[in-house]
């Protein structure tokens, strides 16, 4: 009996200590630099977003915030690193909607998106823009589809790889328009853009931040954007939907993520700090100029969007029989 009482007392003390320690920990956090994992190479849209936000977030938290690029395997390398990281608030990740493709694309992943990855804060969204080489004699979406239908398979489009955020919506576009084009996968969007400019490939569906320097210089031609409404960054470019492909809507979101198990009080502190940064007019202007429309969103709503996209894109990927290589 005495042993049981002693064990119960010890358990009670341990529970009290753990409960009491959390608010103190959350209040002190962070006491050292915070790392943001970027799951793609430097220079891409995710990298751009992370690096724009990191200095302001660091100032808000009172610690340095460092961005590390860990590209490869469609973003799953960095996501796996996040899943394995200690859930203490010191390792975060900025990713886009493409992370919801992975479960259906890959036979085996070293993590489970729902079980291991926690949405922390929504950043914003941007439509992609369908661009063509200036060597292709088309000026509109109508011209583009007419050419694709007249010579099935002759129009080539590039992407950062099979199952990438620039590939899947093009497959959906082909299905919706009953066209057949030829996909040319690359190890990244950078080499693909170079080949687009030179005319080695003819089209790409790219994030606005990734392609806007080439649009401004006139090196590629915009045909249509992929969201519901026209992008404020490209107000004179029509949407794919208004160009005749009814209900086409593809505007990838961007957000912050942490490992599941991160203390709720730390997550709340992160959420508040990130949204304070996103309310900064200078940050809004920098992101908006690149076509990213910033929006405040409750964390629970963002988590619901992530879960819905895992289900939606999983179904689409399986129906189209797409597998990552």
Q: Write down the domain spans for the chain.
A: 33-125+252-320, 128-225
Instruction: Give the distance between the most distant pair of CA atoms in the chain.
Output: 89
Query: 2-28 and 264-278 are packed helices; what angle lies between their axes, rounded to 10 degrees?
Result: 10
Q: Which residue has the higher pLDDT, 151 or 13?
A: 151
d(CA 108, CA 162): 16
Give yes or no for residue 6 having a pLDDT over 80: no
Give yes or no for residue 47 having a pLDDT over 60: yes
Give yes or no for residue 13 having a pLDDT over 80: no
pLDDT tens, 229-287?
Answer: 999 999 999 999 999 999 999 999 999 999 999 999 999 999 999 999 999 999 999 99
Report domain 128-225's class: alpha beta
pLDDT tens, 186-236?
Answer: 877 888 999 999 999 999 999 998 899 999 999 999 999 999 999 999 999
Lowest mean pLDDT, pick from 16-25, 91-100, 146-155, 305-314: 16-25
So what's the pLDDT on residue 7?
45
Cα–Cα nearest to 193, from 175, 169, 212: 212
Provide the mean pLDDT of the chain.
91
Q: In the CATH scheme, what is the code of domain 33-125+252-320?
A: 3.40.190.150
Question: How many other C-beta atoms are found inside a 10 Å radius of the C-beta of residue 286?
Answer: 16
What average pLDDT does this structure show over 166-174? 95
Please determine whether the domains at 33-125+252-320 and 128-225 fall in the same fold group of CATH. Answer: yes
Strands in the chain per DSSP E? 34-38, 65-69, 91-96, 117-125, 128-133, 156-159, 182-185, 203-207, 220-225, 253-259, 293-294
Q: What is the pTM of this model?
A: 0.87
C-alpha distances in Å from residue 169, one per residue of 51, 62, 81, 235, 250: 26, 40, 27, 21, 7
Q: Is 77 helix (H, G, I), strand (E, B) or coil?
A: helix
């Amino acid at each position: 009996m005495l042993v049981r009482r002693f064990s119960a007392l010890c358990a009670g003390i341990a529970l009290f200590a753990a409960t009491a320690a959390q608010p103190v920990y959350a209040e002190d956090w962070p006491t050292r630099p915070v790392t943001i994992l970027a799951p793609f190479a430097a220079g891409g849209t995710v990298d751009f977003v992370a690096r724009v936000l990191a200095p302001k977030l660091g100032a808000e938290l009172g610690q340095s915030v460092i961005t590390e690029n860990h590209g490869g395997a469609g973003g799953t390398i960095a996501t796996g690193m996040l899943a394995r990281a200690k859930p203490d608030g010191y390792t975060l990740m900025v990713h886009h909607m493409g992370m919801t493709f992975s479960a259906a694309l890959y036979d085996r992943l070293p993590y489970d998106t729902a079980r291991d990855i926690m949405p922390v804060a929504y950043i914003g969204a941007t439509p992609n823009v369908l661009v063509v080489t200036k060597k292709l004699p088309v000026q509109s979406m109508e011209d583009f589809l007419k050419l694709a239908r007249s010579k099935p398979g002759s129009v080539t489009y590039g992407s950062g790889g099979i199952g990438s955020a620039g590939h899947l919506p093009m497959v959906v576009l082909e299905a919706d328009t009953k066209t057949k084009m030829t996909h040319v996968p690359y190890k990244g969007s950078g080499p693909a853009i170079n080949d687009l400019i030179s005319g080695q490939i003819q089209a790409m569906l790219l994030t606005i931040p990734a392609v806007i320097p080439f649009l401004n210089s006139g090196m590629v031609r915009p045909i249509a954007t992929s969201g519901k409404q026209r992008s404020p960054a490209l107000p004179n470019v029509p949407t794919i939907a208004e160009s005749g492909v009814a209900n086409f809507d593809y505007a990838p979101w961007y957000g912050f993520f942490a490992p599941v198990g991160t203390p709720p009080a730390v997550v709340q502190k992160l959420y508040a700090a990130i949204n304070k940064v996103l309310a900064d007019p200078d940050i809004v202007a920098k992101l908006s100029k690149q076509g990213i429309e910033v929006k405040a969103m409750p964390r629970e709503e963002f988590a619901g969007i992530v879960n819905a996209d895992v289900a939606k894109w999983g179904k689409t990927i399986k129906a189209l029989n797409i597998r990552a290589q």
